[in-house]
Structure 1
Amino acid sequence: MATHQPRAALPLLGQSLEALTEWVQAQGQPTYRGKQLYQWLYHQGARSLSDITVFPKAWRQAWEHVDVGRSALHHRVVASDDTVKYLLRLADGQIIETVGIPSAKRLTVCVSSQVGCPMACDFCATGKGGFVRNLGIHEIVDQVLTVQEDFGQRVSHIVFMGMGEPLLNSANAVAAIRCLNQDVGIGQRAMTLSTVGVPGRIRALAAEQLQVTLAVSLHASNQTQRLQLIPSAGAYPLSVLLDECREYVQLTGRRVTFEYILLAGLNDQPANAAELAQHLRGFQSHVNLIPYNPIDEADYQRPSEASIRAFVAELEARRIAVTVRYSRGLEENAACGQLRASRRPS
């Protein structure tokens, strides 16, 4: 039996079958152990090498301190609509939030891509808490496995709409998407990546030729209003963002979803809808309207149903595809814009 010491800082989760096979060979184990390790990591929920009972006991004991890459459950809360919010404690003690959203035919996971968020959107709880660091590939993949194991059913859909700006952690976000697709077995077309926009990153994402849905958070119908809500819009004017989105459609052949949070008395008027429609004329796109989900740190209000209907009618009259998305988990602060990792490490 090999007696090599474990290599530091090597989370196994997020590694491909080939990489895991090379790793076990480097530890003096036969090639077939790589496939066993792969199966136990991605499909049998192993949280440590000691869990992998097909491995020799002596080897498991010698390697029990190898970093598999799984997080610890810090807190779990279930909303009345069966949405589950998880606070996960990472290896360095930081806390992130993940949300499991069940429905009759699917199980969706809302994953975080960063600890905190540097974009500081004025209506978002995550942005109010500041930015700490990017998540690693294993920390993103772990969120999906955690929800899958807790619900006891396969995850069918993934949305990168949790804490953080995915395109500021694009290398790890893209690698996690590929891992979740190839290793966990979730189709890319069932994944959505949401961004407020980072200059040049949408173009770079197009070059990856993924099959995911790109969701761009506009939240305003003009640059002045958008700058009020999203400070980063100063470096990325609305017109430039939309030009890059058009380029994305041309390069990928996939439509863009535009997300628009409706804030009462601010951006929910028919005139805003008309202005938004003008921007999207001739665009292969879809608009998701999201009635504002309240947070303690901001004074914005949720629009009335009448205002929502009027906004929708204005877009539809101008032949813009639109859906109203009512967020789940609202009363447990698990809805869009409410994630804040409020329970700190103990």
Structure 2
Amino acid sequence: MALTQPLVGDRTREEIRRSVSESETDVVGGIFRALVMGALAVSLLILAILFGDQISLGWSQLTGRLGGFLSGTLRSRSSDELLGVHQGLYGSLWIAIFVAVLAFPLGIAAAIYLEEYAPTNRFTAFLDLIIRNLAGVPSVVYGLLGLFLFVNDGWLRDNVTNGSTTISAGLTLAVLVLPIVIITSQEALRSVPQGLKEGAYGVGATQWDMIRTQMLPYAAPGILTGTLLSMSRAIGEAAPLILVGAITGGMTANPGLTDVSALDDRFTAMPIIIVNWVQQSGRDEGFLGAAAAAIIVLLVFVLLLNLAAIILRNRYENKRSS
């Protein structure tokens, strides 16, 4: 009886070929993993060096007068005991609030509509393409958009933003991160298993009930990850704020962090303060240490927001796995 595949020992040639291919794949995969881990280690090393350098530069401000630095205001001299970042913290905090209140609900709602309600046709495909392109637009372009819409436009300026104010900055950065929120929310919603949706429909749930009780809880960790990334980008942007009219010099007002009455006043933010102090370090070297301390404060501020998002994400992941 003729064999369809000649034997080599106890194995066919096809089995040997498959084994060689799998071993080559394992080698390539191992090399790729090693390269990725090496790149990650180098990146973390560079970040650690930069972080340590900023801590050493701003150590005197962070340890000697941390409370005064956090409650102080913009000053023309680095040796001024009233120098601090309180006005920048106020601006960055309320910008983050505007992004959370406006961009997150609108972005998640748009993602739900595009994934579950919108018909599949050329228009929705074109709309999806536009959103993905908008996510890659440079931030300075959004700054020009905010300058035109929220600062110079007559009706919005007179009735909503009052010109170059914290409201204008918050609206501009909410528009900036909106495409990112939509895209990440779409990807999270697409990861929901089809069986989960069919099971909800099988027990008589409406489409909205299925979305509310099954899709959103399952996709919540991915959605929170996307909102976390967009929030971090919004807080760290400087170019749009400069175009919208953030103040780089002295400010007379020093409102409390919860003082909403100051939202329609002139504003500044942490990235603006950092850029301004680095520029001023050329004439006053002490501003370099103040800028380093402001960088650490901004990083801690972002990390605290990230920590809150991580806690919420882990909570939803635990509910999903239980």
TM interval, shorter chain, is under 0.3
Task: Provide TM-score, normalisation by structure 2.
Answer: 0.19
Greater fraction helix: 2
Higher relative contact order (CA 8 A, sep 6+): 2
Task: Provide TM-score, normalisation by structure 1.
Answer: 0.18
Greater fraction strand: 1
Larger CA Rg, structure 1 vs 2: 2
